[in-house]
Amino acid sequence: MTNPIDPTAQTAGAGIAAPVMQARPTEIKIRLPDDFNGDRKKTRTFYLATQLYMMANKHIYDTDEKKIMFFISFLKEGTAGPWAEAEMTKAFTNDQGFGTWEAFTTRFLNAFTEADTAGDARAKLRVLRQTATADEYIAEFRMLTARCGITEDVSLIEYFQEGLQNKLVEKVYGMEHVPKTIDEWYEATSRFDNQYTPPTKDPNAMDVDRLSTSEREKYMKEGRCFTCGQTGHRAADHKQDKGRQPDRRPVRTAEVKEDSDKEVSNIAKIKAMMAELEENDKIKLLEDMAEKDFA
């Protein structure tokens, strides 16, 4: 009698073992590498991406042949396409197939790696300077040092300090315990840079230090504010009431004198006009002015 539970039990009268169903290995889903077109600047990125994917799924890509077939499936465009076609043609007519994974990747890197990559990276490292945040500088520095193969902390720190902004170098050396490894330098400079916040500036403010002596004298004579260049208040009023444009006060400078001169001139003109009027006309004019509250 056949055991219905045991899949390896023989069927009645046949003497044939039932096939054993094995679960298909599940592939860990991470980002697949992008297709490679032969661009030498992207060779390292593509190579590392394929290595990462196969490392995550090493239970599937467990032979040299499987690794090579996975790798070569992304060589489709540009100069990479014909190179992959030549490799496949050779493998199909060769008893040894693609050969070893190590030999295959050596051929690939020789074909698509930039000449003297390490030398170029070292040259770029010598002129690398921090122009933005410390985190951006660290990312670029890490990439270049990986390409040129520098691993000693002493050399890395020397290169790192050379391009780092002076204010950050000073802060790190001001620590009680100065970092001794490049990773400690990365952490310290990133922390100090993120702590620094530039002071806010009044959007209406002028740069007083850029005013020449003659311009300052002119501002003083005209009663203008050194901060925003407007009249009616002083630079100190901006500090007392941040975020709001100070209220304008009556200007007590040349404008006052000008208004006073105009008033005197107008009175003189009125007196001259009244002197030419007859007595009755003068009385009538004064009465009209009084009624209209002109005086």
242 and 286, same domain (yes or no): no
- Which residue, 112, 140, 158, sits at the end of a domain? 112
Closest C-alpha to 185, from 169, 196, 209, 202: 169
Q: pLDDT tens, 149-194? A: 888 889 899 999 999 999 999 999 998 899 999 999 999 999 998 8
144 and 191, same domain (yes or no): yes
User: Is residue 94, in this structure, part of any structural domain at all?
Assistant: yes
Window from 147-151, 204-208, 230-234, 275-279 with minimum mean pLDDT? 204-208
106 and 168, same domain (yes or no): no
236 and 267, same domain (yes or no): no
Q: Greater confidence, 1 or 64?
A: 64
Beta bridge partners of 17: 10
User: Is residue 33, in this structure, part of any structural domain at all?
Assistant: no
User: Is residue 16, in this structure, part of any structural domain at all?
Assistant: no
186 and 147, same domain (yes or no): yes
Q: Greater confidence, 123 or 240?
A: 123
Return d(Cα 148, Cα 87) in angstroms, integer. 29
What range defines the domain where residue 280 resides?
Answer: 255-291
Residue 285 Cα to chain centre, angstroms: 77
User: Is residue 12, in this structure, part of any structural domain at all?
Assistant: no
- Which residue, 112, 136, 151, sits at the end of a domain? 112
User: Is residue 27, in this structure, part of any structural domain at all?
Assistant: no
pLDDT at 94: 80
Q: How many domains does the chain have?
A: 4
Distances (CA, A) of 247 to 225, 233, 241, 272: 12, 7, 10, 40
Return d(Cα 205, Cα 212) in angstroms, integer. 16
68 and 125, same domain (yes or no): no
87 and 44, same domain (yes or no): yes
Closest C-alpha to 227, from 217, 215, 216, 238: 238
User: Is residue 168, in this structure, part of any structural domain at all?
Assistant: yes
End-to-end CA distance of the chain: 133
220 and 246, same domain (yes or no): yes
Contacts of residue 50, Cβ cutoff 8 Å, sequence gap at least 6: 33, 70, 71, 74
User: Is residue 60, in this structure, part of any structural domain at all?
Assistant: yes
pLDDT at 251: 46
Q: Greater confidence, 18 or 49?
A: 49
User: Is residue 132, in this structure, part of any structural domain at all?
Assistant: yes
State the average pLDDT for the chain. 76
54 and 97, same domain (yes or no): yes
248 and 260, same domain (yes or no): no
176 and 152, same domain (yes or no): yes
227 and 286, same domain (yes or no): no
- Which residue, 222, 237, 252, sits at the end of a domain? 252
Closest C-alpha to 186, from 152, 154, 149, 141: 141
Average pLDDT over residues 29-48: 89
Answering whether pTM is above 0.75, one says no
